[in-house]
C-alpha cells in the first residue's frame, strides 16, 4: 500500500568525506605583481593575527560536493514533493518563474550602495510593490525593509512605540494585549520592544471575547496584536468593535499578516481598523520558504504613522526615483540596506502574474479547500473541530484528535508521525494551546481535491486501525529517511558542531 519513500543514504558528514589536497573550485593564480603586493601587506599584520593553520574546512572535488548535497536533498521534503498542510505557514506552490526572474543579472548583480541613478529599475520595482501592497491591505504607506514576519512585527511595534513616545505617553503605555491563540512571535516581539504582555482569553466561539478585552484595556494599553482570521481559522466578526475599544483608550491595532491568504480581495486589514500591518511574502505571496528563510515581512501603516517608517523612503517625482532620508520622526533602520530584494522581486512577479482576479481567486480556493477538508475530517471518528464547527472557516482550521487519544491512546503527536510514515508533512501540532491535541491544518489553494481526499483517507485509516497493530514507534524509517529521532537527547547533551564532536571524543 506504501506508494512512496524518501531516499535513505546514510550520508556522511562532509568533514568525513574530506581528502587532503582535493579542491572544489579553482581560483586564479596571483600574478607576480600581486605576489609582491601580498608580501608587502601581510608583513604589516602582527604575527599573532595571521592564522597559523588553515581552517578545518573539507577538501572535496566539485563532484563530491554535488553528490553530498544532492543526496541530502533527497532526504528532504518540500512542497515540491508532497502535501505540506502546515497551519499558518501557507505552504503554497512556489512558481519557478519567480526563480528565473530573481536570477536576472539586472536584478541580482546590483550593489546596495550604487548611485540611485544607476538603479532606477530596482527602485521602480520596490516603489510599485509598495503601492500594490498598500492596495491589497488598505494601508497608506509601506516599508519593504523587514526580512521576515517577526522582523515586521518588531518594526511595527517599534513604530507604535515611537507614536506613543511622541505623544509623551510611552511611560504610561507599558502593555501590549495579545489573544491566547496568538502565534509565539507576537508576545516575543512585544517583549523585545520593552512591553509587558497581557493575554486575553478567547471565548467559547474561539474568538476574542469582547468583555474580556474591555477589562484588559486601559490607559496602560499601547496596543493590541491580532491576526484575522485568527489562528483557529475563524474570522473575528467583531473586529470593528475590537478596533473601537482599543482606539478609544488611545491604543493602536497591529495586524499579523500571517493569515492574509484567506482574505485577499475580500476584506482588507486597513478597512478593519488596523493601524499597522505586516505581510509575509513567503506565505501569501508564494516566495519559497527555503527551509526556514529567507522571507520578507513588509510593514504597512496609516497615513498618521507614515512619518515613523524606517529610512530611506523611496520617492518618485514623476520622472525619477530617489531615496529620501529626510524623515526626522523615522524609527531609523531595522536592518542594513533596503530589504530582502531578491524575495521582494519574486513577490512582485507573483502579483503581476496573478493580478487582482488571481489573488482573489487564490483566497477563494484556499478557503474552499479548508472548509472541504474540515468537513471531511470532522466526519472521521476520533477527530473534531472544537471551535467553529458550525461556522465557515477561512483558509485553515484546527482539528482536535482528543477523542482518538481517549479511545485509542493515539495522541496528536502520533497522528503527526503516522502522517510522516505516509509521506505527508504533518500539520502544526499542539498549537494554539486552547485546543487539546491540536492539529492546525492549512491546505492552501494550490492543492487539488484528490490530495485533500487522500489526506482524509490516511486519517480515516488511522482512526479505524487497531492501536496494537500500529508500529511501536513512528515513523519506522521505512518511508521517511530515518526512524523516530530522539529529540530529548539532543537537548540533554547538545552537540552543535564538528568542533563539539571532536571535543566530546577527546573527553572519552
Partner 1 sequence: MQKKRVVSPFFPHTAADIQDMLSFLEINEIDQLFADIPEKIRLKKKMNLPKPHSEAETERHILELLQPNCTAADGPSFLGGGIYQDHIPAVARYLSQRGEFLTSYTPYAPEISQGMLQTLFEYQSLICELTGMDAANSSMYDSGTALGEAARMCARLTKRNLFHVPEAIHPDRMATLKLFAEGASVKIKTIPYSRASGQLDLISLENSLSKDSCGIYIENPNYFGAIESKAPKVGQIAQDQGIPLVVGVDPISLGVLTPPGEYGASIVVGEGQSLGLPMNFGGPSFGIFACRYDRKMIRTMPGRIIGMTKTEKTKKRAFCMTLQTREQHIRREKATSNICTNNALCAVNSAIYLSLLGPQGIKKHAELLMARNQLLAERIGNIAGYIAPVFGKEIPHFRDHVVQLRKNGKKADDLNRHLLKEGIMGGTILTHSFKDLGEAILFSVNNQQSLNDYQRLEEELRRF
Residues sharing a CB contact under 8 Å with residue 139, sequence separation 6 or more, in sequence order: 133, 269, 270, 274, 277, 300, 301, 302
Shortest spacing between CB 465 and partner 1, in angstroms: 20
Q: Which is nearer to partner 1, 237 or 406 (CB)?
A: 237
- Minimum CB–partner distance for residue 417 and partner 1 (Å): 8
Residue 211 C-beta: closest distance to partner 1, Å: 19
Provide the sign of the torsion angle of the four alpha carbons 463, 371, 353, 282, taken in this order: negative
Cβ atoms within 10 A of the Cβ of 320, count? 12
CA angle 127, 322, 347 (to 5 degrees): 20
Phi, psi at 388, each rounded to 5°? 70, 30
Distance (Å) of CA 198 to CA 146, 216, 496 = 25, 8, 35
Residue nearer to partner 1 on the CB measure, 406 or 433: 433
Kindly report the backbone phi and psi dihedral angles of residue 273, in degrees, each rounded to the nearest multiple of 5, phi listed first. 110, 5
Q: Which residue has the cell 492543492?
A: 447
CB nearer to partner 1: pick between 219 and 489? 489
Nearer to partner 1, 378 or 407 (CB): 378
Is the Cβ of residue 407 or residue 420 nearer to partner 1 in the bound state? 420
* Residue 92 near residue 79 (C-beta atoms within 8 A): yes
Which residues make Cβ contacts (< 8 Å) with residue 211, sequence separation at least 6? none
Q: How far apart are CA 398 and CA 388, in angstroms?
A: 9
- Measured in whole angstroms, the distance separating CA 266 from the mean position of its chain's CA atoms is 22
Closer of 68 and 164 to partner 1 (Cβ): 68
Contacts of 281 (CB under 8 A, 6+ apart): 287, 295, 296, 297, 298, 343, 344, 346, 347
Q: How far is the CB of 363 from partner 1 (least distance, A)?
A: 9
| Helices 412-421, 449-464: crossing angle, 10 deg rounding | 120
Q: Which residue's CB is nearer to partner 1, number 406 or number 449?
A: 449
Nearest approach in angstroms of CB 498 to partner 1 is 4
CB of 209 to partner 1, least distance (A): 17
Minimum distance from residue 344 beta carbon to partner 1 (Å):
8
Of the pair 274, 406, the CB lying nearest partner 1 is at 274
How far apart are CB 407 and partner 1 at their closest, in Å?
Answer: 25
Rg of the chain over all Cα atoms, to the nearest angstrom: 26
CA distance 151 to 172: 25
Smaller CB separation from partner 1, 361 or 407: 361
CB of 338 to partner 1, least distance (A): 6
Amino acid at each position: 500500500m506504501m506508494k512512496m519513500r524518501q531516499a535513505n543514504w546514510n550520508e556522511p558528514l562532509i568533514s568525513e568525506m574530506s581528502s587532503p589536497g582535493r579542491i572544489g573550485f579553482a581560483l586564479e593564480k596571483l600574478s607576480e605583481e600581486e605576489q609582491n603586493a601580498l608580501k608587502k601587506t601581510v608583513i604589516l599584520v602582527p604575527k599573532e593575527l595571521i592564522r597559523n593553520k588553515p581552517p578545518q574546512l573539507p577538501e572535496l572535488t566539485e563532484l563530491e560536493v554535488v553528490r553530498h548535497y544532492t543526496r541530502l536533498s533527497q532526504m528532504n521534503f518540500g512542497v515540491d514533493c508532497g502535501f505540506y498542510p502546515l497551519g499558518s505557514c501557507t505552504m503554497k506552490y512556489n512558481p519557478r518563474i519567480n526563480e528565473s526572474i530573481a536570477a536576472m543579472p539586472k536584478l541580482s548583480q546590483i550593489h546596495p550602495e550604487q548611485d540611485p541613478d544607476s538603479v532606477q529599475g530596482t527602485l521602480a520595482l520596490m516603489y510599485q510593490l509598495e503601492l500594490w501592497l498598500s492596495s491589497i491591505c488598505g494601508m497608506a504607506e509601506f516599508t519593504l525593509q523587514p526580512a521576515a514576519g517577526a522582523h515586521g512585527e518588531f518594526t511595527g511595534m517599534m513604530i507604535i512605540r515611537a507614536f506613543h513616545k511622541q505623544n509623551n505617553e510611552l511611560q504610561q503605555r507599558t502593555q501590549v494585549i495579545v489573544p491566547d491563540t496568538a502565534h509565539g512571535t507576537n508576545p516575543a516581539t512585544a517583549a523585545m520592544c520593552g512591553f509587558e504582555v497581557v493575554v486575553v482569553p478567547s471565548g467559547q466561539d474561539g474568538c476574542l471575547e469582547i468583555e474580556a478585552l474591555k477589562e484588559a484595556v486601559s490607559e496602560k494599553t499601547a496596543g493590541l496584536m491580532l491576526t484575522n482570521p485568527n489562528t483557529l481559522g475563524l474570522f473575528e466578526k467583531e473586529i470593528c468593535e475590537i478596533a473601537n475599544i482599543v482606539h478609544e483608550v488611545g491604543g493602536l491595532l497591529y495586524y499579523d499578516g500571517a493569515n492574509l491568504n484567506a482574505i485577499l480581495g475580500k476584506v482588507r486589514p486597513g478597512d478593519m481598523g488596523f493601524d499597522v500591518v505586516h505581510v509575509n511574502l513567503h506565505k501569501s505571496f508564494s516566495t519559497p520558504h527555503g527551509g526556514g528563510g529567507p522571507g520578507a515581512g513588509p510593514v504597512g501603516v496609516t497615513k498618521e504613522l507614515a512619518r515613523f517608517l524606517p529610512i530611506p523612503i523611496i520617492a518618485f517625482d514623476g520622472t525619477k526615483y530617489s531615496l529620501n532620508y529626510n524623515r526626522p520622526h523615522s524609527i531609523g533602520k531595522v536592518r542594513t540596506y533596503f530589504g530582502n530584494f531578491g524575495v521582494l522581486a519574486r513577490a512582485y512577479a507573483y502579483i503581476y502574474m496573478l493580478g487582482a482576479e488571481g489573488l482573489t481567486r487564490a483566497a477563494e480556493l484556499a478557503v474552499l479547500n479548508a472548509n472541504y477538508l474540515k468537513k471531511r475530517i470532522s466526519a472521521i471518528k476520533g477527530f473534531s473541530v472544537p471551535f467553529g464547527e458550525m461556522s465557515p472557516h477561512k483558509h485553515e482550521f484546527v482539528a482536535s484528535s482528543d477523542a482518538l487519544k481517549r479511545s485509542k491512546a493515539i495522541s496528536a503527536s502520533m497522528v503527526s508521525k503516522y502522517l510522516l510514515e505516509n509521506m505527508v508533512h504533518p500539520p502544526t501540532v499542539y498549537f494554539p494551546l486552547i485546543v487539546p491535541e491540536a492539529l492546525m491544518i492549512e491546505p492552501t489553494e494550490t492543492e487539488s481535491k484528490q490530495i485533500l481526499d487522500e489526506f482524509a483517507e490516511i486519517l480515516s485509516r488511522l482512526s479505524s486501525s487497531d492501536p496494537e497493530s500500529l508500529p511501536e514507534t513512528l515513523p519506522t524509517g521505512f518511508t521517511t529517511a530515518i526512524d523516530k529521532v530522539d529529540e530529548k537527547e539532543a537537548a540533554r547533551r547538545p552537540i552543535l558542531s564538528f568542533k563539539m564532536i571532536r571535543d566530546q571524543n577527546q573527553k572519552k
